[in-house]
Structure 1
Amino acid sequence: MLTGKTKNLGVLGWPIAHSLSPVLQNAAIGKAGVDYVYTALPVRPEDLPAAVAGLKALQFRGWNVTIPHKTAIMPLLDAIDEDARIIGAVNTVVNDDGHLTGYNTDVTGFIQALVDAGFVPQGKTVVLLGAGGAARAVVWGLIKAGVQAIYIGVRSPEKVQPLVDEFSAYGTLTVSHWESEDFAAKLSAADLLVNTTPLGMTPHVDAMPPVDWSKVKADAFVYDIIYTPAETRLLREAREYGHRVLNGEGMLAGQGAAAFVKWTGVAPNVELMKAKLRAALAT
């Protein structure tokens, strides 16, 4: 029941009507029995400074940040966590008595889902398909988890070289065209194959990045951060070739759970959040 003591949370984005964060977070709130409520907050890009000032004035405890505000919000905050600073994007804000701190919990969500699935990244070799916005959090998460090397395959290597140069200060990274012989050799060495592209996402479910399964190690783990559909063409083919697979459901729920802890100090029921996500997607 909402009362005068109920603390407010939300998610900022434009557009925002499609967001499943309210479903996940309010399910977690109800299960944990904490006095919070979480809502979607549509904010036009030009209104972001006013929105942040307004949420601070209204004493919102915190909020998530999604497209197109993840980078634009950073100068409006009082402090930026190291993960968010290195990735260059904030997806979670915590308001401590008017002091706003930005975090990026995508890192936690990505790695925790992988570990929960039984894959330990430390010392492993990784091939990444794509290098868009989500890839920065994935790359940083893998580096923090202690992987040996990250090989990125893309359509336009020259566009991704600046990212490789930037993160090479922290680990071993290379980039090559994903249809080149060089990439095929990298694919053969991979313990983990991760898709960070939108290829295969609903409604374009027949698409997938080019992968020659004959070049992929038999025991390689395949992780697609897409969660709709639950099984992309990439994951279906990987499963048919005998690979262990994981979709993006755990990453989405995991990043939400990490944000929940920062706001409330309480660990939510992540399995419930996943179940609510599946139910929402089904409808």
Structure 2
Amino acid sequence: MTERIDGHTLLIGLMAYPIRHSMSPTMHNNAFAKLGLNYAYLAFEVGNDQLPAAIQAIRTLDMRGSNISMPNKQKVIPLLDKLDPAAEMIGAVNTVVNDKGILTGYTTDGLGFMKSLDDEGLNIRGQKMTLAGAGGAGTAIAVQAALDGVSDLSIFNRHDAEWDNAVRNVKLINERTNCRATLHALEDRDDFKAEIQDSAIYTDATGVGMKPLENETLVTDPTWFRKDQIVFDTVYAPRTTKLMKVAQAAGVTQVFNGLGMMLEQGAAAFKLWTGEEMPVDYIRHILFDEDA
């Protein structure tokens, strides 16, 4: 690191609270070093109260930009100059780019999802997806998939705090994209099964399958899946989730966790800042021993 930093080094931040656990500094700084790029990435514990001053610091210090995580993803929007169309629709920002004092907000979670499928040679454009979850990850995936050309999207959510967000997502997708989105109650198991079986891909964007729910899954019956489907769980710890095991028991061969999505959302932000492609395979090896 010290060999790379000089008077021309540009700073990129990560603003969230808490944030000391983040793998993003390791990801980005190793990618900068690998490509010989003169950037440094640091994590800053910034909450809502400190956010206005922190965003102004991006301009004042001529930082190249910053990642934004909870609890700041919505609060940052009024502090920016422009929003990417996906970020505007989603109503959240996870990446800020500074172009000569003009700050633009983007969201890369949905980009990461779509790119991770592309990496596997899978194209869901023009096809139907059933998606469980309408929180941050689910919203980003739904909007980006619709913008990228998924033809039909069946969104399932419980009647909980995220239901109103799911209603909003469906309305915006139908108004602003060519995708036909419908909202369904996750409590209706027969409807859930029917929509999954009618889809090219089933994506779980809930926290089910992640600690402390690592032994749970929304789909428990392997007969709900076809062998030619794609099953995608946004959870990546544990590496093989309960949902993935159910899909594998059904003979589904295209079964994925969220590791690729996590890396590719970081890579999308990396390209926005640097114009370069992140060496994803190299970073995957550093962050996640594939034999672990």
> Which band: TM-score by shorter chain?
over 0.9
Q: By how many angstroms is 1:47 displaced?
A: 0.9
CA contact (8 A) 1:91 1:105 kept: yes
SS at match of 1:46: coil
In structure 2, the residue matched to 1:173 is: 181
Q: Aligned partners of 1:162 and 1:264: how far apart in 2?
A: 33
CA contact (8 A) 1:80 1:102 kept: yes
Gaps of 5+ in 2: none
Q: By how many angstroms is 1:29 displaced?
A: 0.6
More RCO (CA 8 Å, sep 6+): 1
Q: Aligned partners of 2:212 and 2:251: how far apart in 1?
A: 26
Q: Is 1:218 equivalent to 2:221 in the alignment?
A: no
CA contact (8 A) 1:121 1:145 kept: no
SS at match of 2:63: coil
In structure 1, the residue matched to 2:61 is: 58
Which amino acid in the other structure matches residue 164 of structure 1? Answer: V
Q: By how many angstroms is 1:99 displaced?
A: 1.4
Of the three residues 137, 147, 151, the one matched with 1:148 is 151
Q: Is 1:46 equivalent to 2:49 in the alignment?
A: yes
Q: By how many angstroms is 1:219 displaced?
A: 1.2
SS at match of 2:255: strand
State which drifts further: 199-208 or 67-76: 199-208
TM-score (ref. length: structure 2): 0.91
Q: Aligned partners of 1:89 and 1:144: how far apart in 2?
A: 16
RMSD across aligned C-alpha pairs, in angstroms? Answer: 1.9
Of the three residues 119, 123, 143, the one matched with 2:122 is 119
In structure 1, the residue matched to 2:278 is: 268
Q: Aligned partners of 1:103 and 1:150: how far apart in 2?
A: 22
CA contact (8 A) 1:179 1:210 kept: no
Of the three residues 233, 241, 247, the one matched with 2:250 is 241
In structure 1, the residue matched to 2:239 is: 230
Q: By how many angstroms is 1:279 displaced?
A: 4.5
Of the three residues 94, 100, 113, the one matched with 2:97 is 94
Which amino acid in the other structure matches residue 269 of structure 2? Answer: A
Q: Aligned partners of 2:51 and 2:121: how far apart in 1?
A: 40
CA contact (8 A) 2:226 2:250 kept: no
- Name the % identity: 37
Q: Aligned partners of 1:125 and 1:38: how far apart in 2?
A: 38
Gaps of 5+ in 1: none
Q: Is 1:161 equivalent to 2:161 in the alignment?
A: no
Q: Is 1:201 equivalent to 2:210 in the alignment?
A: yes
Q: Aligned partners of 2:126 and 2:85: how far apart in 1?
A: 23
CA contact (8 A) 2:14 2:67 kept: yes
TM-score (ref. length: structure 1): 0.93
SS at match of 1:45: coil
In structure 2, the residue matched to 1:137 is: 140
What is the aligned residue count? Answer: 282
Q: By how many angstroms is 1:133 displaced?
A: 1.3
CA contact (8 A) 2:152 2:180 kept: yes
Q: Aligned partners of 1:152 and 1:95: how far apart in 2?
A: 34
State which drifts further: 264-273 or 157-166: 157-166
Q: By how many angstroms is 1:179 displaced?
A: 4.3
